[in-house]
Amino acid sequence: MLPALQTQERAQQQAALRSRLAAPAKNRGRLDVVADVLEACSANATKNAVLIRANLNSVTATYLLAQLIETRLVDTVVDEEGRVSYITTKQGAAYLDSYRGLVGMLTPALVPDTKAREEVGRFL
């Protein structure tokens, strides 16, 4: 290969690896899902709205909402027509604040994927 092409290819590989380091994890953990549900319930949200905003299936949303109600992180509100909606409580808002603070501290630069870090080291 020509030296210019090698340099360009290497720069592209480095950029791709850096973007992999900066990308969020593909799978969410339980704490992430709880935060997504609480965020969805920040304003009165129906179960369908929670499903869409938190990207959950019906079974998981039902189970998780029941747990969050039991732990008093979410409360239910019933309107005049009998429709049930969910709203985040003060404890749930405190959870969200703490969660956001921790996520802000744990950036991908501080805790990178070890395999991606080894690949970056190889090219830098």
71-86 pLDDT, tens digit each: 999 999 998 999 999 9
One DSSP character per residue, 69-117 reads HHTTSEEEEE-TT--EEEEE-HHHHHHHHHHHHHHHHS-TTTS--HHHH
pLDDT at 83: 92
pTM for the whole structure: 0.66
**Are 33 and 65 in the same domain?**
yes
Q: Which amino acid is it at 106?
A: L
Contact between 38 and 72 (Cβ < 8 Å): no
21-49 average pLDDT score: 83
**Are 44 and 97 in the same domain?**
yes
31-45, 50-64, 69-83, 101-115: segment of lowest average pLDDT: 101-115
122 or 75: which carries more pLDDT confidence? 75
**Are 44 and 73 in the same domain?**
yes
pLDDT of 24 over the 80 cut: no
Domain count, the chain: 2
Q: Which domain holds residue 85?
A: 27-107
